[in-house]
A and B are shown apart, each in its own frame.
Chain A
């Protein structure tokens, strides 16, 4: 029986996808909720108080003292890890478990910091790093 090409292509695509993704791991770790510029757009330095910020964003992860006031910090993490083990391709034919692994981790650590004066009014605000967010990409080179 001869299979029509319209059925062969999907089978071929599925086989290629299976073979190329053998031994793949995709892992994501999130700590707290990632904050964006839109989330903090409501903060107006000189007007917004720390209480207003807490009402919208919740409590900060830390509050520390500084010479010019109080620093409130919201920390968050969005880590992405992708790993491919090409050694799996040889497993059916090899007496041992060969490994040829490539992997890459994007940590995506960031924090949002607020400087408040002695009356708890926000005077400055900024993200610690301006990350665009890591992608799932196992290619390390």
Chain B
């Protein structure tokens, strides 16, 4: 009887769950932790920084200083396709690196935040 019920339950789940999908999209290259660690405040020059990280995605002039911004976006999509209802959840997060250079072209500060490390595939659209 238990086997029959389990089979029926499995069949019901099989009929209801039409399929599921995983998709992923990224924009930009990964910001290498080693390259960022090699940049030293007060000593690394603009040329050395460019050699390590390449050209910035955005160049800003803020507070009398040059700010080089590097970013990367990561998107993960999980879809649960049922016969009567479909659930999808897109989660997008970014990694951002700001390198602040003083007037002499020396690195004054580095600000890095990697939000994509904890990015997961999610299906359930409700709640948090």
Interface residues of A (CB under 8 A from B): 18, 21-33, 54, 58-65, 69-70, 77, 80, 118, 120, 136
Known A-B contacts A63-B60, A63-B67, A70-B62; the reply to A32 vs B85 at CB < 8 A is no
Is A54 a contact of B63 with CB atoms below 8 Å? no
Partner of A32, one of B60, B90, B93, B111: B93
Chain B residues 47-103 with CB under 8 Å of chain A are 60-64, 67, 69, 84-94, 96-98
Given A21-B84, A33-B115, A63 and B92 contact (CB-CB distance below 8 Å) = no
Structural contact, A54 and B113, CB atoms closer than 8 A: yes
Contacts A32-B115, A65-B63 known; 16 new A-B pairs at CB < 8 A: A21-B85, A24-B84, A24-B85, A26-B86, A26-B88, A26-B126, A27-B87, A27-B125, A28-B125, A29-B90, A30-B91, A32-B93, A64-B60, A65-B62, A69-B63, A120-B63
Closest chain A residue, CB of each to CB of B77: A29
Given A21-B85, A25-B86 in contact, is the A64-B93 Cβ separation under 8 Å? no
How far apart sit A54 and B80, CA to CA, in the bound complex (Å)? 36
Contact B98 A63 (CB under 8 A): yes
Number of interchain pairs (Cβ within 8 Å)? 78
B36 at the interface (CB under 8 A from A): no
Quick one: closest B residue to A27, CB to CB?
B88
- Chain B contact-residue range equals 20 to 34
Taking CB atoms, residues of chain B closer than 8 Å to A28 are 88-90, 125-126
| Nearest CB in chain B to that of A77: its residue | B92
Q: Which residues of B contact A69 (CB under 8 A)?
A: 63
Contact yes or no, A70 B88, CB < 8 A:
no
Bound Cα distance A62, B89 (Å) = 26
Determine the distance from Cα of A59 to Cα of B109 in the docked complex, in whole angstroms: 13
CB neighbours (8 Å) of A58 from chain B are: 96, 113, 115
Task: Report Cα–Cα, A28/B119, bound state, in Å.
Answer: 15
Does B39 make an interface contact (CB < 8 A)? no
Q: Is B112 interfacial (CB 8 A cutoff)?
A: yes
Contacts of B112 in A (CB 8 A): 59
Given A23-B84, A28-B125, A59-B97 contact (CB < 8 Å): yes
